[in-house]
Amino acid sequence: MDSPSKTSTSLFEVYLRLRPSVSSVADRFLDVEAEEDFPRHITIKPPLTDHRKRAVERFAFTRVFEEDAAQLDLFEGVGALPLIQGVVGADGREGRDGLLATLGVTGSGKSHTILGSKSQRGLTQMMLDVLFQSIADNIVSYSSAAFAYDSLARSDVSEAHMLPASTFLDQLYGDSHSMRGSCSRAQTPMPETSFMSVATSKQKIPRPSCLPQAPDMTGFEVPIDSRSEYAVVISMYEVYNDRIYDLLAGTTPSMKHNAQRRRPLLFKSTELSPDRKVVAGLKKIVCFSLEEAVMVLETGLTERRVAGTGSNAVSSRSHGFFCLEIKKRDRVTKDSWKSGALTVVDLAGSERARQAKTAGATLAEAGKINESLMYLGQCMQMQSDNQDSNKSNIVPFRQCKLTELLFSNSYPSSSAASFNHHHAHRQPQKAIMIVTADPLGDFNATSQILRYSALAREVTVPRIPSTTSTILAGPTSTRVEYPDLTGSANAAELEAAQREIQRLTEEVDVLTLMLAEEKTRREEVEDSWRASEERLVSMEQDIRDECFEEMDARLEAERRRWKSAWDEEADKNDERMDRKLEILAKGIRIYEDPDPGLEGRVCELESENEALRRKIDMLEREAQLKSPSKKQRILKAKKWEAEAGLKSP
Ligand SMILES: Nc1ncnc2c1ncn2[C@@H]1O[C@H](COP(=O)(O)OP(=O)(O)OP(=O)(O)O)[C@@H](O)[C@H]1O
């Protein structure tokens, strides 16, 4: 069995946390092996009531935390500080993405570990506290927030809708009629007089002071780059029925009652992130203090409960993602923002899937949780197999949204050819999985999770001392020396036969166990197959309804457009016709009833014309008389005329 210390090659470091059990009647089926520094191995034995499986399974983890481990022990033991440090990044360098996820049977303590309870903070709040403490002197100040905020929004590669926490929280909880409206507070926010002090009855405000303050994280800090200024951007989403939904987008009161209207988001490559898939179109909140960050977290968690479970406010039927982006840039040169992201994942309880069927949830929902966890199991098992055999089989993480989101950043980015220099040569993420288990809980469900999450596994069958050896050992522990009897040959043969029987029984036990595992796996696959079929049918119906509605809306719009065009054309025609009629009527009026003034004017012009013509004739004659040759000719002509007149009778 491989030692879990060889985890450097694995995609995930896997820790096991045992929760203090509430059941006092159940048998404990899990034992932790004592080791030098801290435990790494556990064994599980089927409960005595289970007669079929007698094999003992031994699992290896990066580290095992027993029931008495406190939240702070987990924080230190799983390496939360180095994780944050990696995300913050070395001086002037891009941070290394981190992932922290919890996996376990329902009620085993996943949410308690990662998100805390009423009295204890979870790892998420503790990490936020440490982060804000560390960057306190270098965080973008409120006074320069507006400039920084613009460049932050521009540098985002995921088509996000970014807004400052004060605006976001005011939109949700603020009093819109207050003098301290969202705009004024967004521009000149004052943390000590923020919206927390102007509670309205509209919505329940997650007051940070009411949230648990323990464990105290004073003194925990990570080194930061003193020449950089920092900004913290938070987004939250959930994977429900293999679709991604924004947990910070739909929290307006009107949307809360209509959670099913939420639009799923895509996990895709964008124009600014061609080599790396991102959840596109999320709402991202820029937080300037721990209080703001915690309130945004609480808002998202409330949305997850409201949208995901309706009336049942305690179960986690979706996989919740809390994403913390730490941005930094040089304080003086204000060059481009460098970014590292820490994603915290609270996975849905595996057992919830089975219970959900009887809890009124749809089969599709239950099937989807099972299916995604089954794919996650396959990926984790492949990781463990790769480690066992030093092979590098490809982990099949593209089978569902959950595994894609969890694993796609676990490989070096292919950004060498990328034009986006910000993300060139990005290191694979550092991923930590905390598996939670109740040692007195449901054996079948827990053992199944342990089987696929453990870094290594070994199946053995407890040695039942053979009859012969018992006889040979004698009634007491003192060994008796027998003389070489003639029956010793028979005894040896019997012993060999017993050993063979023992070996075969062990083999049968292991095979029985494997068969049982296969059977469970088959049942799960069948369940998820049925759920998929049902989901397909309901999806088809949804799509039909959607298409019908869209078609109807389009037809109506087209009809309205056509009607308005028709009305417009008719109006134009009417107008044109009116004008023609007007002209015609005018013409008819002129013909039938000529204007007397016009007639007088015509006569006047005609007589004027006549007078002018006479004047021209006269002038012409005068001109001819003035020319001497013409004068001569005229005189001659007159003379001839006179003579001709005398000659004629
Ligand atoms: N280590 C622990 N110490 C004390 N209480 C715990 C511990 N782990 C879990 N609990 C308590 O057990 C209850 C169930 O735990 P939790 O809600 O974290 O389970 P879960 O695995 O997240 O369940 P689900 O899958 O339904 O979300 C909670 O009341 C929680 O406070």
pLDDT (tens digit per residue) in 246-285: 999 865 444 444 445 678 899 988 888 777 889 999 999 9
Residues of the chain with pLDDT > 70, as a percent, come to: 73
DSSP notation for 343-371: EEEEPPPHHHHHHHHHTT--HHHHHHHHH
Cα-to-centroid distance, 106 and ligand 1 (Å): 8
Return the pLDDT at 426.
Answer: 66
Same domain, 311 and 455: yes
Which ligand 1 atom is the nearest neighbour of the CA of 67?
Answer: 1
Which ligand 1 atom is the nearest neighbour of the CA of 106?
Answer: 25
161 lines ligand 1 (CB under 6 A): no
User: Residue 506 domain-assigned?
Assistant: no
The single-letter code of the amino acid at 279 is: V
How buried is 66 (Cβ within 10 angstroms: 0-12 exposed, 13-18 middle, 19+ buried)?
Answer: middle
Cα-to-centroid distance, 346 and ligand 1 (Å): 12
CATH number for the domain that contains residue 368 = 3.40.850.10
The single-letter code of the amino acid at 562 is: W
Cα-to-centroid distance, 242 and ligand 1 (Å): 24
Cα-to-centroid distance, 146 and ligand 1 (Å): 41
Residue ranges of the annotated binding site for ATP are 104-111
Cα-to-centroid distance, 114 and ligand 1 (Å): 10
Which protein residue has the closest C-alpha to ligand 1 atom 8? Answer: 109
Return the pLDDT at 240.
Answer: 86
CA pair distance 614, 12, nearest whole angstrom:
121
For ligand 1, mutation pick of 23, 65, 111 (most atoms within 8 Å of CB): 111
The DSSP symbol for 581 reads: H
The count of domains in the chain is: 2
318 lines ligand 1 (CB under 6 A): no
User: Residue 165 domain-assigned?
Assistant: yes
Quick check: 218 and 125 in contact, CB under 8 A?
no
Residue ranges of the annotated binding site are 104-111
Quick check: 401 and 277 in contact, CB under 8 A?
no
Cα-to-centroid distance, 442 and ligand 1 (Å): 15
Give the Cα-Cα-Cα angle 381, 384, 385 (nearest 5 degrees). Answer: 85
Return the pLDDT at 388.
Answer: 63
pLDDT at 385 over 90: no
User: Residue 541 domain-assigned?
Assistant: no
Tell me the pLDDT tens digit for each residue of 355-373. Answer: 544 444 455 566 677 778 8
CA pair distance 352, 367, nearest whole angstrom:
10
Give the Cα-Cα-Cα angle 365, 371, 377 (nearest 5 degrees). Answer: 140
Residue 436 pLDDT grade (very low, low, confident, very high; cuts 50, 70, 90): very high
SS (H, E, C) 56-76: EEEEECCEEECCCCCHHHHHH
Cα-to-centroid distance, 47 and ligand 1 (Å): 23
Quick check: 199 and 316 in contact, CB under 8 A?
no
For the record, the structure tokens of 138 come out as 């270098």
Average pLDDT estimate for 622-628? 73
Quick check: 370 and 524 in contact, CB under 8 A?
yes
Return the pLDDT at 178.
Answer: 40
Cα-to-centroid distance, 74 and ligand 1 (Å): 15
Q: Which residue has the higher pLDDT, 307 or 26?
A: 26
Return the pLDDT at 87.
Answer: 92
User: Residue 71 domain-assigned?
Assistant: yes
Quick check: 165 and 185 in contact, CB under 8 A?
no
355 lines ligand 1 (CB under 6 A): no
Average pLDDT estimate for 626-649? 67
451 lines ligand 1 (CB under 6 A): no
pLDDT at 500 over 60: yes
Return the pLDDT at 193.
Answer: 32
Quick check: 88 and 80 in contact, CB under 8 A?
no
Return the pLDDT at 599.
Answer: 79
413 lines ligand 1 (CB under 6 A): no
CA pair distance 371, 402, nearest whole angstrom:
10
Closest of 434, 243, 221, 438 to residue 344, by C-alpha: 434
Q: Which long-range contacts (CB under 8 A, 24 or more apart) does 565-574 make?
A: none
The residues with which 244 forms a beta bridge, in sequence order, are: 239, 265
Closest of 511, 523, 521 to residue 54, by C-alpha: 511
Average pLDDT estimate for 337-347? 91
Average pLDDT estimate for 525-542? 81
Is the Cα dihedral 294, 300, 303, 304 positive or negative? negative
Cα-to-centroid distance, 641 and ligand 1 (Å): 147
Residue-number span of the structural domain to which 263 is assigned:
11-416+424-460
Average pLDDT estimate for 580-594? 80
CA pair distance 539, 552, nearest whole angstrom:
19
122 lines ligand 1 (CB under 6 A): no
SS (H, E, C) 165-184: HHHHHHHHHCCCCCCCCHHH
| Beta-strand runs (E) in 282-419 | 283-287, 319-330, 338-346
CA pair distance 7, 36, nearest whole angstrom:
18
181 lines ligand 1 (CB under 6 A): no
Average pLDDT estimate for 134-157? 81
Question: Which of 46-55, 305-314, 468-477, 616-625 is most confident?
Answer: 616-625
Closest of 89, 514, 91 to residue 339, by C-alpha: 89
Tell me the pLDDT tens digit for each residue of 449-477. Answer: 898 888 888 877 655 554 444 444 544 44
For the record, the structure tokens of 420 come out as 């986006």
For the record, the structure tokens of 122 come out as 């979870």
Instruction: Give residue for tokens 């060498």.
Output: 416
pLDDT at 122 over 90: yes
User: Residue 330 domain-assigned?
Assistant: yes
Tell me the pLDDT tens digit for each residue of 26-70. Answer: 788 899 999 888 999 999 988 777 655 567 889 999 999 999 999
Return the pLDDT at 51.
Answer: 59
User: Residue 441 domain-assigned?
Assistant: yes
Quick check: 234 and 323 in contact, CB under 8 A?
yes
- Across all residues in the chain, what is the average pLDDT? 78
Give the Cα-Cα-Cα angle 599, 602, 604 (nearest 5 degrees). Answer: 110
| Beta-strand runs (E) in 403-550 | 430-437, 456-460
Closest of 273, 410, 421, 331 to residue 92, by C-alpha: 331
CA pair distance 255, 624, nearest whole angstrom:
107
User: Residue 384 domain-assigned?
Assistant: yes
Question: What spatial distance separates the first Cα and last Cα of the chain, rounded to whole Å?
Answer: 166
Quick check: 413 and 276 in contact, CB under 8 A?
yes
Closest of 215, 45, 17 to residue 109, by C-alpha: 17
Quick check: 62 and 37 in contact, CB under 8 A?
no
Domain boundary among 460, 482, 512: 460
Tell me the pLDDT tens digit for each residue of 195-235. Answer: 333 333 345 556 666 778 889 998 898 999 888 899 999 99
349 lines ligand 1 (CB under 6 A): yes
For ligand 1, mutation pick of 21, 67, 112 (most atoms within 8 Å of CB): 112
Cα-to-centroid distance, 522 and ligand 1 (Å): 29
pTM of the predicted protein model: 0.68
Return the pLDDT at 200.
Answer: 39
319 lines ligand 1 (CB under 6 A): no
111 lines ligand 1 (CB under 6 A): yes
Strands 283-287 and 41-44: unpaired
Closest of 444, 437, 373 to residue 108, by C-alpha: 437
User: Residue 401 domain-assigned?
Assistant: yes
For ligand 1, mutation pick of 18, 19, 453 (most atoms within 8 Å of CB): 19
317 lines ligand 1 (CB under 6 A): no
User: Is-cis flag, bond preceding 594, omega within 30?
Assistant: no
Closest of 389, 385, 379 to residue 433, by C-alpha: 379
Average pLDDT estimate for 539-567? 91
